[in-house]
Structure 1
C-alpha cells in the first residue's frame, strides 16, 4: 500500500468510526474534518463497497420473512406478514393475528380514508388490539350484514364500530342480516336507502380489512344459523372452499355460481377487488384451503397469517394447478 492509499484508507476508517461508532451525522463529520457533506457520503459508500464496513442485521424474524417471500412469489400479491405461531395454542391464534394486523393497519391508514371491515373473531381481535393513533377524517364501514344473532360481537358492523371507537372516528352500521330468507327480501333490502347508502360507502373504501371464511360446519355463517345444512350441501357440491364477503370461491379462487347469492347482503368479491388495498387476516388449519383459494384468485393484496398456516398454504399452492 502506497502512502497515498494508506492516508486515504485511514480517512475512510476514521469517517466510518465517527459515523457508525460515535453516532455523528454526515454534516457533523464534514464540519469536523473540514470536507463537504457529499464527500462524506461518497466515502461511506466506498467503505461499504470495499468491505471496510460490513453491516449485519440481527434479525429474529428471518424464518417468518422467508415464508413471506415465498407467499409473495407463489401468488404475486403485494405483501405478506407472517407471525411465528410455534408456541401459540389454536385458541390464542386470533389474538396473535389481531396484534399483527393492528400494527399493519396503523401503517396503512391515511387521513380521510374510508375503511371497509369484515365480520369475524380475528378481525374483532385486530380492532381490540388497535391503540389510538392520530388520523383525520377516518370512517369505518361494514362490508356485509350480520351473520345471525350468535357471535354478534364479531359482526362486521360491530367490528367497524370497535375500530372507530378506538380511533375516535366515524362509522356506519348495517341494519340487515348477511343472508335473508328469499330473493325478494334480498332485492327489497338492497333497495332500502339506508342499506343502499352503506353498500355504496363500502364500495368507496380505500382499504378493506377482511377475514377469509372456510366452507365447513365450523364456519361462523353455519354456527350463527344463517346457512342451513342444505345450503352447505349445495355449496360443497359446487366446489366452494372459501367465503369472501358475499361470495364463495372454489379451490382455484374462482367465484362460484351459488343459487342463494341473491339472498346475500354485502359486497361481492368482484366489488372487493375494486378497493385499492385489501388486507386479509386469517390463519389456522381449518382455513388453509380457503386462504389458498383467496390468494390464487388474487382477491387480497396483503395477507396476515401465522407461520404454520403459511407453510401449509405454500405447500398446497403447488398441488393445485
Structure 2
C-alpha cells in the first residue's frame, strides 16, 4: 500500500469510527473534519465496499423472516410479519400475533391519520394490546355496522372506541347494523347523514386494520345470526371461501357477488383495496384457504400471522394454484 492509499484508508477508518462507534452523525463529522456532508456519506459507503466496515446483525428471527420474504414475494404484497412461539397453544399464539400487530400499528400511525377499524374478535385482541403513542389529531373510524344487539365487545364501534382510548384520540360511531332486512332498509339507513358521513369518512381512511373470515358456520356473520347456515352454504356453492367486511371472495381472490350485498352496511372489498395502507391480521389452520384468497386478491399491504399458518399458506398455494 503506497502512502496515499494508506492515508485514504486511515481517513476512512477515522470517519467510520466517529460514525459507527462514537455515535456522531454525518453533519457533526463534516463540521469536525472540515469536509462536506456528501463527502462523508461517500466515505462511509467506500468503507463498507472496501471491507473496512463489516456490519454483523445477531438475528434470532432468521427463520421467521425467511417465511416473511417467501410470502411477500409469492403474493406480491409489501410486507409480512410472522410470529413464532414454539410449543405454545392456540390462545398464546393468538396473543403474540395480536401483540405483533399492535406494535406494527403503533409504529405505522402518523400524525393526523384517519384509521379504519374492522369488526371481529381478532381486531379486538389487537386493541387490548395497544399502548399510548404520542400522535396528533388521530381519529379511528369503524368500517362496518354492528352484528346483533348483544353489545359485543368486538363490534367495529367497540373496537374503534378501544383503539381511540389507547391513543387518547377521537373516534366515530357507525350507528347502523351490518346487515338489515332488505335493500330498502339499507337505503333508509344510508339516507341518514349521521350514517352516510361516517361511511364516507371510512372510505377516506389512510390506514386500515382488518381481519379475514372463513366461509363456514364459524364466521362472524353466521354466529351473529344474520346469515343462516343455508345462506353460507349457498355462498360456498358460488365459490366463496373468504369474507372481508361486506364482501366475499373466491379461491382466486375475485369478488363473489350475492343478493345479500344489498342488505349490508359497510365498506366493500373494492373500497378497502383503495385504502393506501391495509394491515390484515389472521392466523389458524381453519383460515388458511381464506387468507390465501385474500392474498391472491391483493386485499392487504401487510399480513400479520404465525409460523404454522405461514407454512400452510405457502403449502396451500403450491397445492391449489389459482385458476
TM-score with structure 1 setting the length = 0.91
Larger mean Cα displacement after TM superposition, 190-199 or 111-120: 190-199
CA contact (8 A) 1:95 1:122 kept: no
More divergent stretch after superposition (172-181 vs 285-294): 172-181
Q: Which residue number corresponds to residue 36 of structure 1?
A: 35
Q: CA RMSD in A?
A: 2.3
Measure the CA separation in 1 of the matches of 2:240 and 2:25: 58
For 1:217 and 1:153, the matched residues in 2 are separated by 20
Displacement, 1:91?
Answer: 1.6
Q: Aligned pair in 2 of structure 1 residues 151, 59: CA closer, same or farther (>3 Å)? A: farther
Mapped partners of 1:40, 1:285: distance in 2: 51
Contact kept? 1:117, 1:159, Cα under 8 Å: yes
Cα distance in 2, alignment partners of residues 27 and 115 from structure 1: 36
Separation in 2 of the partners of 1:217 and 1:106? 33
Q: Which residue of 2 aligns with 1:83?
A: 83
Q: CA deviation at 1:237?
A: 0.8
Shift in CA distance, 133/116, structure 1 to aligned 2, threshold 3 Å = same
Deviation at 1:16, TM superposition (A): 4.0
Q: Structure 1: any 5+ residue segments left out of the alignment?
A: none
Report the equivalent of 1:54: 54
What's the offset of the Cα at 1:254? 0.6
Q: What secondary structure is seen at the aligned counterpart in 2 of 1:226?
A: coil
Residues 1:14 and 1:320: Cα distance change in structure 2 (over 3 Å): same
Query: CA contact under 8 A between 1:214 and 1:290: conserved in structure 2?
Result: yes
Is the alpha carbon distance of 1:142 and 1:19 closer, same or farther for their aligned partners in structure 2, counting shifts above 3 Å? Answer: closer
Who is 2:158 aligned against? 158
CA gap 1:62/1:3 in 2 versus in 1, 3 angstroms: same
Task: Find the counterpart in structure 2 of residue 209 from structure 1.
Answer: 209
Per-residue deviation at 1:20?
Answer: 3.6
1:304 counterpart residue number: 304
What does 1:1-321 align with in structure 2 at a 5 Å threshold?
A: 1-25=1-25, 36=35, 38=37, 40-149=40-149, 152-318=152-318, 319-321=320-322
Q: For structure 2, which runs of at least 5 residues remain unmatched after alignment?
A: none
**Distance across 1 between alignment mates of 2:88 and 2:223:** 24
Q: 1:37 to 1:74 in 2, by over 3 A?
A: same
How much has 1:281 moved relative to structure 2? Answer: 1.1
User: Aligned partners of 1:61 and 1:320: how far apart in 2?
Assistant: 29
Indicate conservation of the 8 Å contact 1:16/1:53, yes or no: yes
1:255-309 CA-to-partner distances (Å, cap 9, x unmatched) read 1021211111111111112221111111111111111111101111111111211
- Offset of residue 317 of structure 1: 2.1
Report the secondary structure of 1:116's partner residue.
strand
Task: Please give the alpha-carbon distance, in whole angstroms, between the structure 1 residues aligned to 2:84 and 2:151.
Answer: 27
CA separation of 1:60 and 1:37: change in aligned 2, threshold 3 A: farther
Runs (4+) off by over 6 Å: none
Given the superposition, is the C-alpha separation of residues 46 and 184 from structure 1 closer, same or farther in structure 2, using an over 3 Å criterion?
A: closer
Provide, for residues 138-197 of structure 1, a one-character-per-residue CA deviation record: whole Å limited to 9, x for no partner. 221111111224571111110001111111211112222212233332232222332222
